[in-house]
Structure 1
Amino acid sequence: MPSGATTTVLYPKGCKFDMNYYLTSHMPLVKKHWGPAGLKSYKVIQFPDDADYSVQATLEWGSKAEFDKAAGGEHTAEIMGDVPNFSDGKPILITGEVTGSD
């Protein structure tokens, strides 16, 4: 049976987005603080102009409980407070448990 959880972070189309800052500063900050809480890995996807969103980050967790603990932890305010440094859009976060995989 599959296990784990995935958090999808979506940034709206048309917002300011500094990909260099995101990849070199923000995501290392996320990994630094949430890695010890169970974040296994992440992927960043940049969508074409005709998509509904501009950027997606996919964060892989050992379990949804690990995400819940990290999101409720002391570093979340710092992570979310960093968003204005690379985007003027409000990220959408969706987390769910893995129910199938190959």
Structure 2
Amino acid sequence: MTCGAGWLCEHRWPGVARLVGWRRAMGTEPVTRWWEGSGRRVAFGRGDRGFVVINGDRDPWGAVLRTDLPPGRYDNWLATDPGAIVVDEGGYCG
């Protein structure tokens, strides 16, 4: 999809729209638990409100990451094939 004049208009892509919705849902919570993998992998939390993992690589990312979320099952808002993410008693997901 293009907007014309060479622009791609990424803001219209469904994944980007979901990221904007996630950011709005986090409110003013500060960024926590910043993690960078290779140049195309990043993860971070927004306090105990949410946690995002972005994998720009073609290969699956098998990391186990520490969050500030309480234990439980969470919706995967950003996935094209949504599923639940489980956070254990120690705050880890993966």
- The two structures share one fold, judged by TM-score above 0.5: no
TM-score of the superposition, structure 2-length normalised? Answer: 0.35
| Between structures 1 and 2, the one with greater helix share | 1
